């Protein structure tokens, strides 16, 4: 995207969107090319086993110079790298050393899961995994870089309902793509979505993602952010991970619009959720009027009656244009803020 940045400086925002519409940046053919391209190899199995790793890098030197630490969590840190010759930016995630109770193979399997589950899947709304670098003490993953989380963008820009609806459609497109490739995300919160300098949203953090396979295996385990988890995932040993993602999307949309969650947990013991069960319309003024009917069909407690991901995306396609077809003015402030962040690094 660095080249897009400088193209946009020359041609303006309208030129940027024309560039976005080009075939080279279509949802399934947007891998970078050229001498700085990440290593590619055979597509890996999406089981999360360390034996299925496709691309083994030697070091981070191929990805340029470390610029800054951009994130730090319980299990890993994320650093920004800049390859000066090609002006490419990379986010490199370095996992903490293995726990004392883990074997080396267990550690590698844990760290490689989020790489394996999406490596080789190319979609404009899913963050790319470029390389897997196993060191002696730590393991690193090389990823596509985007300047801000969706949460940060919404806090800074305070986008219009129209822009948020476009954002939400992009998220739905990314989730539908994952589902078509037999992967459920299982933690669709704003912190796990990033925004690049073209106002394109990308799903990140696949640590709790689940590969359900062609046989549609049921998921186990109550994982992810509690407020986003569906009632059936909280109450059942096994559940449909796709339906769980769909439920989480309705809660995500609420948080994008209101910067809060509608409840702490989707259990009857939660007073806000119990009030919702008694009267769904209690949330009606918290969602766009045009999406309320669809929202009520997504927030259906019975997962067999809930809208499917395909049905939800069909609704979004009727309510808002694709990102590259919406007016430039809708995203103007978002683009300028994200673009400046990238410029500060590249220039």
- Which residues form the catalytic set? 187
β-partners of residue 80 are: 68, 91
Distance of CA 333 to the CA centre of its chain: 21
Please provide the DSSP assignment of 301-320 as one string: SSTTTSPPHHHHHHHHHHHS
CA gap 88, 36 in Å, rounded: 8
| Largest Cα span, the chain | 60
CA gap 347, 338 in Å, rounded: 14
Cα torsion 264, 156, 329, 200 to 10°: value is: -60
At 32 the three-state DSSP class reads coil
Q: Give the Å distances, CA to CA, from 189 to 88, 129, 203, 249.
A: 27, 20, 10, 8
Strands 219-220 and 210-211: unpaired
Q: Taking Cα atoms as reference points, which of 182, 139, 141, 186 lies closest to residue 46? A: 182
Would the annotation count 93 as a binding residue?
yes
Q: Taking Cα atoms as reference points, which of 110, 143, 146 lies closest to residue 129? A: 143
CA gap 241, 286 in Å, rounded: 26
Helix residue ranges per DSSP H, the chain: 2-20, 104-116, 150-157, 161-180, 231-235, 241-258, 271-278, 292-298, 309-319, 332-346
CA gap 294, 256 in Å, rounded: 16
Q: Taking Cα atoms as reference points, which of 295, 317, 316 lies closest to residue 307? A: 295
Give the residue ranges of the annotated binding site.
93
């Amino acid at each position: 995207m660095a080249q897009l940045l400088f193209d946009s400086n020359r041609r303006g925002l309208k030129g940027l969107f024309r560039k976005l519409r080009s075939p080279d940046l279509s949802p399934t053919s947007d891998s970078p090319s050229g001498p700085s391209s990440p290593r590619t190899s055979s597509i890996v199995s999406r089981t999360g086993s360390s034996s299925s790793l496709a691309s083994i890098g030697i070091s981070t030197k191929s990805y340029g110079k470390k610029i800054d630490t951009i994130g730090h969590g319980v299990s890993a840190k994320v650093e920004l790298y800049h390859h000066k010759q090609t002006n490419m930016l990379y986010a490199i995630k370095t996992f903490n050393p293995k726990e004392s109770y883990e074997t080396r193979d267990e550690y590698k399997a844990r760290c490689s899961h989020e790489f394996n589950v999406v490596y080789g899947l190319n979609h404009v709304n899913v963050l790319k995994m470029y390389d897997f670098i196993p060191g002696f003490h730590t393991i690193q993953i090389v990823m596509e870089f985007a300047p801000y989380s969706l949460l940060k963008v919404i806090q800074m820009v305070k986008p219009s309902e129209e822009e948020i609806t476009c954002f939400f459609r992009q998220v739905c497109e990314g989730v539908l793509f994952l589902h078509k490739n037999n992967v459920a995300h299982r933690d669709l919160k704003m912190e796990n979505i990033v925004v690049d300098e073209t106002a394109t949203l990308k799903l990140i953090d696949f640590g709790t993602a689940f590969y359900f396979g062609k046989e549609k295996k049921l998921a186990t385990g109550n994982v992810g952010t509690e407020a986003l988890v569906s009632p059936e995932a909280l109450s059942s040993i096994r559940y449909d991970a796709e339906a769980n993602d769909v439920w989480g999307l309705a809660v995500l949309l609420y948080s994008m619009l209101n910067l809060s969650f509608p409840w702490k947990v989707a259990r009857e013991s939660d007073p806000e959720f119990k009030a919702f069960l008694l009267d769904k319309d209690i949330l009606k003024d918290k969602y766009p009027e045009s999406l309320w009917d669809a929202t009520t069909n997504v927030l259906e407690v019975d997962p067999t009656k809930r809208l499917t991901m395909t049905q939800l995306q069909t609704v979004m396609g009727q309510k808002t244009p694709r990102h590259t077809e919406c007016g430039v003015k809708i995203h103007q402030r978002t683009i300028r803020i994200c673009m400046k962040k990238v410029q500060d690094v590249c220039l």
